[in-house]
Structure 1
Amino acid sequence: MTTRAIAAALAALLSAAGMARADFVPEVVGQVATLPEPRPHWVFVSDLLLRRAALFDADSGEFLGMLSSNVGPIAPLVDPAGGAIYLPETYYSRGSRGTRTDLLTVYDPKTLAPTGEVVIPPKRADVVHGAGMAALLGDGRFAAVFNLTPATSVSVIDTRERRFAGEIEAAGCGLVYAAGDRRVAMLCADGTLLLITLDERGAEAGRVRSEVFFDPEKDPLIEKPARRGSSLFFVSFEGFVHEVDLAGESPRFAAPWSLFNAGEREAGWRFGGVQPLALHEATGRLYALVHQGGPDEHKEPGTEVAIYDVARRERVHTVSIGNLVGAFLAARMGLEAGGVGAWLLETLVPNPGADRIEVTQDAEPRLILVSQEAGTLGVHDAISGKFLRNVDDVGFFPGMISAPWR
């Protein structure tokens, strides 16, 4: 049986035993609230089934609001000046068919209501787990959206003037990563990296193609890097860290280093997940999902979070991942966290681990974990690794998670 099937069976069994959740109290509808100033532990959770990006407070567990994003929701792009939130979206005139319209929608950060939109070419890549699908460049003036038709290109949007600035072809290269105020980085199929420079109108002003820095045939990179300042940290299928510094005119590559020592590799420890990396910039701690398995398991959930000091290139701590599925079921059934019923569920239900992680960027950072098997966030102290709480009912099929405020 699958994890979901086992969980459903246990839920039915416990409900029949009289442990159903408390009486439902309906919410008062039609209220419109205004958010306070953003806090560093606010987290966006995109949901592929609910077609939204929901905002939660990881401290209180409160649901704060959501952006309704239709097809393929990804992590929202937050203006560094705080004036807007942007989200690339796709709509069809007949719901799932008909004329397609792609947009960069502008949202009010106080009410999460849409305030504007920029129509872009109907080409944006719709990928289930959309890391690298869009980027807001350093000062927030331009946004870049990755296109895949299957030809690859970039749509550039001027957020200040709210206009489509143009499309830039990028054959053989994919995904978009911010590389300063006027540059976009892309990974290329031959193991190189492409840097595209924009002018003040958002048109291409130049491009630089790097040397080969990884072998896409022998050890490909997982395309979801962690960022520290101008540097991106990619990890390969085999668990080697590739640091790319984008501060100069051309990319600079540090010598790769391994997440695992010889003994750990022999024991079958591997890196993997859907959103498997996070980095706390101030401390230089890199967080990686790891599990024991075999080759080609780079999408498998992690059973632990390994924490590394990127300056020393060594592991400094390991965090075990609790049973998020068991916690999700317990919450749905009204069982008290830490009680006998919740303990029974978390003991009997198989623990799938987590396949997505994020770290907040404040002085008291939080490590956020989620599994696509359950709509529950696990919240840990990112420095000590101590488990703090679960945030329940965050969605049905979590996609990307992001903590954009500092």
Structure 2
Amino acid sequence: MSGNRAVVYVEPGKVEVCNTAYPDLVLRDGPGVNPLNVGRKCDHGVILKVVTTNICGSDQHMVRGRTTAPSGLVLGHEITGEVIEVGRDVEFIKKGDLVSVPFNIACGRCRSCKEQNTHVCENVNPDRPGSAYGYVDMGGWVGGQSEYVMVPYADFQLLKFPDKERAMEKIRDLTMLSDIFPTGYHGAVSAGVKPGATVYVAGAGPVGLAAAHSAQLLGAAVVIVGDLNKERLAQARSFGCETVDLSEHDDLGGMIAQILGVPEVDCAIDCVGFEAHGHGRNHAEAPATVLNSIMQVTRAGGRLGIPGLYVTGDPGAVDEDAKIGTLKIRLGLGWAKAHTFVTGQTPVMKYHRELMMAILNGRAQIAKAVNATIIRLDDAPAAYREFDGGASRKFVIDPHGVVGK
């Protein structure tokens, strides 16, 4: 084959669908590729025909110009596809397999991978542990919001769906396994959600909704979701969550008390990240708001799951400290309350198989929870704008028009 089309970051606020090179089993030079990764041979990899690829809130940070992402970067780290070519070193993945791709790239050979910490693989990013497709400072692996993509370390990483026809019937749910569902689930697990727990989820974007649904799956008694966006709060209520509208009030503890009778929860999950705003009618960007507020409302001895993205470089930050990821966090409060914090990328491979089984057997309805919306590849620029405007949708790109068939 020759040729490929992909969603490319152009400049702040602008993405385009462009013609790009058809992938092969070598990491070629290009926008964002670490020089030490150029020419890296991937005979352990496969070429996928992309079936679905999702727009993520993490992509929006780059598109807004809030990172150092270079122009020309091919976006997309949430990938589900059909294997159409296998490298000579691939033993167990075959042509025709339908697979989910964990967003964090992992070699399967380093100490981190062997300890299931695939989110901090030591061999895929020359700058620091951890990597992802189509993301700034993550080694330069080409993104998957495209027609075709190369995926390395196929035997180790890929989750093969056991029944292709059955999987296509559930593809709107299964496409969430590459990132959003494991990320929300990881946030809930990290926060210690268990049967009977009361849970606060900060943020009603797709990851927040996935975390809320995950908390329900884990047996939470009450899940409260807070946001500034009324449409997204309505989506949270559509599957049984309580909500607090932070655009109207700034007393989070008081709003929780109206629901639970006490101003605190057993555990909390930050699904907002570094572009957080303050609370109340005159809210403005205040990146430490969510971290400080969840410490305030989580009981002593509780746990905080923090899957929300925080970065080391934010050129659009509100102050000089925040530009390098230094935030005014009330660590003393967390220390005094003996909180446990869990941060970082989600180790997708730790969770994706069990979540696949929950989907295939009707226990999880993640597509409904996040309002999955199928679009064409050419619709991606408009979807980015709509998502940036606060639409309560999880946009799923169908590059080859196969999902509706």
Task: Give the TM-score band, short-chain normalised.
Answer: under 0.3
> Looking at CA atoms only, which structure, 1 or 2, has the larger radius of gyration?
1
Q: Which has the higher strand share?
A: 1
Q: Which has the higher helix share?
A: 2
Normalised to the residue count of structure 1, the TM-score between the two structures is 0.27
Normalised to the residue count of structure 2, the TM-score between the two structures is 0.27
